[in-house]
Amino acid sequence: MPPSRKSFALRLDPALHAEVERMAARDLRSVNAEIEFLLREALAKRGVKVAVSEQPRRGRPLKQED
């Protein structure tokens, strides 16, 4: 079973959410993925390295060759 993701409620100022939503759309990400990207970017600027957990691949499985 793949590791689960931590979920929690996040309250944002509506103007901030709207801007994150615009950025997410421009980068072809969900708002959730954009927030995670921005958090990782901010931590990296502070010198904090966060490992990326292995996630199951989405979409159709790759074709197996015989």
Chain segment 5-51, per-residue pLDDT in tens: 788 899 999 999 999 999 999 999 999 999 999 999 999 999 998 88
pLDDT-derived band of residue 62, with 50, 70 and 90 as boundaries? confident
Torsional class of 59: left (φ above 0), alpha (ψ -120 to 50), beta (otherwise)? left
Residue type for position 52: V
pLDDT for residue 63 is more than 60: yes
Q: What is the pTM of this model?
A: 0.71
The C-alpha angle with vertex 25 and arms to 2 and 20, in degrees rounded to 5, equals 85
First and final CA of the chain: distance in angstroms?
27
